Structure 1
């Protein structure tokens, strides 16, 4: 447990398997071949099924076309699409070439999308019909050399081309993908994926994850799957997480790197369809955010479906109360494991994870193997059990940094390599961790990160708003709802403010919590908004209602 001569640093042990792969593509191809003709992924709406061999074939096909059209190491390819098989093929094909994949949120507004693409500066953008309204925005970006349309039949006009025509025209059949991926690279220096992660300073930042990060995440998953197979004959998982989100994308990668796991995926949460998929495909495991677990705890539809196959629910993305955990267990007659996990985009996926043997109610689990953890006070001193402080982590899951943003990177990863999470928590005598609060000011709405500073900037752009402060208010279903205190100039209604914000930002950032007009936003002498005072003001206001 002791490292760097500090007894308060927690370590569970080394990884069970080496990270000695030439590239992430090397690991991925080996895993896909091991899966063979077993079912890997199922579209829960169309019921289309893909074997591991299918995914391997389509991914190699995409890699050959990308290579033939000019994509090389370090080039960026962005995808604007709903979850679908072509998404997976292009993502893996890009990674095979040691290029960088940049999944992009199709719900972004024009402002958010342009900001995101300006960070990642993709050479190619792949767009589905679901993101058709973004096409004109992408076409106006000079750094985008080629746009690949997943739907329709578009001939190559030098810049736009359909998926099928792209594959047919550019596939380099003489390019040996499997030989290429076996050429060693510096896996912890090679950027594999860029995810967008909001911070407290406004618009999203680009989180660069290395191929080494992806390999480490996959290796950790091997151990979890082995444990699952000791308990259950077959592992089938259901996911509604979008693949532009770290949880959805990494979940997809982890599923295809395990020949024992089948993923059923949906593009959005629809109650009846979700329950029908659990019944039809005999789902064993769910990885879900709190709103869906609350749905399972309370929906009257529960008794209309056979959900007896469900044995494990892992909740992440936001804190889950022990009360809800207990409600779900009771509904399943205590024949189900309900566990929490903790992670962040900057740590690849999860650094704390419960298992069915040692999970404690309310805990987010133990450190995953290979990762060091500590809790620090405001002066950076490490703390012992049951003492609350900021959670910090170090290991093979730590991101490279924020793309083209060295100052933000330095404020998040210190000189000793510790990733400062911005979350407050503690660990007990068994080294189980618990989340208490967030040191950072992010609002979490249904697992989405909503930065108050960004919404404040939007509000201040309104001609009748003099000042504004945004906080998250508790909500049982969503976790938190964005709420705004506004200092107005002239006639203005709360609905007008909410409508203005809704036209400017994407859906998760809407002011669902409401708007309250006040005379002055509480700030300290240097001008920093005092959000804690605003939260107390909200509590006081609510108590008088």
Structure 2
């Protein structure tokens, strides 16, 4: 994993500012400084908390934190100690934190100050001792701290006198592929969130092949005597693969700087983009939609050379509208496709190509693609089907869940759950076979909402689907409920009291006599999606 910190393939120089605060660029680290802090964190985690003591890839460290340039360094430090990084959403309730701590079997918890209260409550419920909670403090430049939670608030980094530990070099492919580096939670193709095990090989390989186009672009610019400098605004959470690959690893590999926002704020996002003259930016469709629609955006993205959207496909017309506001209208925004299980992007468009076809790009190097029908038979080129992939970026499987792992793979290929087709060397997405709802880039599992709703004493049955919302510029959850003596507001308030903000029923609540299901008991969501059309048709009879 540490090709980013010490490798001939790493473009960052020793004095390269790789991670810094967007609101105070003096509060950052160079490549050389990052390496030393990583080694200090590794020493403390190993010698005080026994992380990695029994070998690498076994001890999970769970972190939930606001964004800062210290967070990616903590991420590296966990792996350097031999631990496994598991990011948890900052939007999580105590109950949601409890579930991830238990599922991940976390040995150590890390958070920023504003999430300490929830983390402490969750730790207590999971019987994790208070002295195994560390609090990130990066408020003072060059004096970053990991504080012991509770009464002492001692800096554990200083308590060991700044001692450092070199990480274990994984030098053969077997170790790289077998050693877990990250445990990120995704709903996969169905069901409740599952822990996706990503190996060191997954992270390294994906970073190299996903940024291959960038490496070629940078080399060409250097030959032409006009070097390209990678600058980006880091604003996506480290609980998701995009935050890790795009903003934690890429600045090392590309030799540039990530300017970290504590949390996403549109006005600050566009202002920082102008202030730091960003040259590369990946974000999610709802944010690009804001850029397209906001009258506030004028010359904020004039310096951009590369812009990309991920997490969900966008229509070609919207892509064109966004592109008009980027790079003085001279660049064209591209789209990428991937999942947590594929360690992020598996398609991309070459940085020198203007693709106006509406594709999500071509398959990246070392990735294999299959497209199959409902009988798991390969379709002909150009035909629509479910897309399956294999390659060095595809995950090890699901944590302690062999049945889910088995269901997600077919002959060594991962079932993405996405439907599309392959034409002229490009991939086109048509629909999602998954039931997963993505609200502004955040994942919402219908099964989780359904389980909660059916725990309500007045609700007999429930189903949740995603519906497109013009108001939110995103897919939102809508509930169909079989109940008596309960109002829609009560149902929505019940969800609000128990789940985090992005999982709310923004699509509303509709009361029905029964939930349509198959003979095997599976919810027929397609029938629910067709209800508005059926009702309108009946009204015309």
- The correspondence of residues 331-410 of structure 1 with structure 2, limited to 5 A, is 331-332=325-326, 334-358=329-353, 359-410=355-406
Structure 1 residue 71: deviation in Å?
1.8
- Give the SS at the match of 1:258: helix
Equivalent of 2:14 in 14, 22, 36? 36
Partner of 2:425: 431
Structure 1 residue 120: deviation in Å?
1.1
**Counterpart-to-counterpart distance in 1, 2:307 and 2:229:** 15
Equivalent of 2:261 in 262, 266, 281? 266
Matched, 1:88 2:96: no
Partner of 1:50: 29
Preserved CA contact (<8 Å) 2:28 2:69: no
Give the root-mean-square deviation of aligned CA atoms. 2.5
Partner of 1:194: 183
Preserved CA contact (<8 Å) 1:77 1:100: yes
**Counterpart-to-counterpart distance in 1, 2:421 and 2:240:** 27
Matched, 1:516 2:524: no
Gaps of 5+ in 1: 1-23
- Label 1:155 to 1:351 Cα distance change in 2 as closer, same or farther (>3 A): closer
- Give the SS at the match of 1:355: coil
Structure 1 residue 201: deviation in Å?
4.8
- Give the SS at the match of 2:443: strand
**Counterpart-to-counterpart distance in 1, 2:213 and 2:248:** 14
Moved more, 388-397 or 96-105: 96-105
Deviations 1:53-83 (A, max 9, x none): 2222211111121122122122221112111
Gaps of 5+ in 2: 140-144, 222-226
Equivalent of 1:150 in 129, 136, 139? 136
Matched, 1:534 2:528: yes
- The correspondence of residues 103-502 of structure 1 with structure 2, limited to 5 A, is 103-134=87-118, 135-142=120-127, 146-151=132-137, 162=153, 165-170=155-160, 173=163, 176-177=165-166, 180-181=168-169, 186-199=175-188, 201-229=190-218, 230-231=220-221, 233-303=228-298, 305-332=299-326, 334-358=329-353, 359-414=355-410, 416-428=411-423, 430-476=424-470, 477-490=472-485, 492-502=486-496
- Label 1:160 to 1:376 Cα distance change in 2 as closer, same or farther (>3 A): farther
Preserved CA contact (<8 Å) 2:11 2:255: no
- Label 1:154 to 1:104 Cα distance change in 2 as closer, same or farther (>3 A): closer
- Label 1:228 to 1:183 Cα distance change in 2 as closer, same or farther (>3 A): closer
- Label 1:401 to 1:80 Cα distance change in 2 as closer, same or farther (>3 A): same
- Give the SS at the match of 2:324: helix
Preserved CA contact (<8 Å) 1:26 1:181: no
**Counterpart-to-counterpart distance in 2, 1:182 and 1:419:** 25
Matched, 1:100 2:100: no
Moved more, 248-257 or 226-235: 226-235
Deviations 1:453-496 (A, max 9, x none): 21111111112212211111112444211011112212x22111
Moved more, 402-411 or 333-342: 333-342
Structure 1 residue 252: deviation in Å?
2.5
TM-score by length of 2: 0.89
Moved more, 525-534 or 356-365: 356-365
Structure 1 residue 435: deviation in Å?
0.6
Partner of 1:21: none
- Give the SS at the match of 2:380: coil
- Label 1:441 to 1:312 Cα distance change in 2 as closer, same or farther (>3 A): same
